[in-house]
């Protein structure tokens, strides 16, 4: 079909989806491990909760620490799901695609809370008043959105009819954050345009 990209023949569609599912699960296994390992590393090397006297800075860093832990848990759950699916196939190919897209969207939402700048802005606080003249940048967030969009489009074999919510949210995510909370970047509008064009 022109809109869904599905085959009209049900048998051909089922076989095609089975092939795609095997490749998607292989990527989920490796991707989940990478996400979990990276999140654990940053959680361990960042400021852990309780390491400072209780104040706004410590509270914001505690939120960022917990967000890293949540990203690590999401990576481990993704890896576990891919292992179980490859071994026993409890859900169908379409469910694998939907779960992949949902996990990607959740990962992007958690990423915002791993950075003290965005945590402070989400809670309506001034990051510079709390952390001082620290050179905050949005590069890591923009590159993360770029990576997730690129990987899901080129490495994961997911149909457009399932993937479009991630494409839409990926393109609007950073501009919406900047409009709602502000940005540490000097030329955030140019970054909006580049990211939206990518998505």
Kindly indicate the confidence band of residue 20, based on its pLDDT and cuts at 50, 70 and 90. low
Distance CA 179, CA 9 (A): 46
Q: What tokens does 21 get?
A: 């599912």
Tokens 């400021």 -> residue: 47
* Whether the predicted pLDDT of 171 surpasses 70: yes
Which pLDDT belongs to residue 16? 67
Q: Is 135 helix (H, G, I), strand (E, B) or coil?
A: coil
The distance from CA 172 to its chain's CA centroid, rounded to whole angstroms, is: 14
Q: What tokens does 33 get?
A: 């491990």
Q: What is the pTM of this model?
A: 0.83
134 Rama sector, left if φ>0, alpha if ψ -120 to 50, beta otherwise = beta
pLDDT tens, position by position, 82-93: 888 888 888 887
Query: In sequence order, what are the residues at sequence separation of 6 or more whose Cβ sits closer than 8 angstroms to the Cβ of residue 34?
Result: 75
Higher-pLDDT residue of 24, 59: 59
Higher-pLDDT residue of 148, 2: 148
pLDDT tens, position by position, 51-84: 444 478 888 888 888 898 899 999 999 889 888 8
């Amino acid at each position: 079909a022109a809109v869904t990209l599905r085959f009209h023949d049900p048998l051909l569609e089922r076989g095609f989806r089975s092939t795609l599912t095997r490749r998607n699960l292989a990527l989920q296994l490796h991707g989940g491990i990478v996400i979990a390992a990276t999140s654990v590393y940053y959680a361990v090397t960042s400021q852990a909760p309780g390491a400072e006297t209780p104040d706004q800075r410590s509270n914001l860093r505690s939120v960022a620490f917990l967000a890293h832990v949540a990203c690590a848990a999401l990576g481990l759950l993704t890896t576990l799901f891919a292992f179980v699916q490859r071994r026993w196939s409890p859900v169908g190919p379409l469910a694998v695609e939907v779960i992949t897209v949902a996990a990607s969207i959740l990962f992007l939402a958690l990423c915002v809370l791993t950075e003290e700048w965005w945590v402070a802005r989400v809670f309506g606080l001034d990051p510079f008043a709390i952390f001082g003249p620290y050179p905050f940048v949005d590069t890591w967030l923009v590159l993360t959105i770029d990576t997730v969009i690129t990987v899901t489009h080129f490495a994961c074999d997911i149909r457009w009819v399932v993937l479009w919510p991630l494409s839409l949210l990926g393109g609007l995510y950073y501009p919406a954050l900047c409009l709602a909370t502000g940005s540490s970047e000097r030329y955030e509008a140019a970054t909006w345009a580049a990211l939206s064009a990518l998505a």
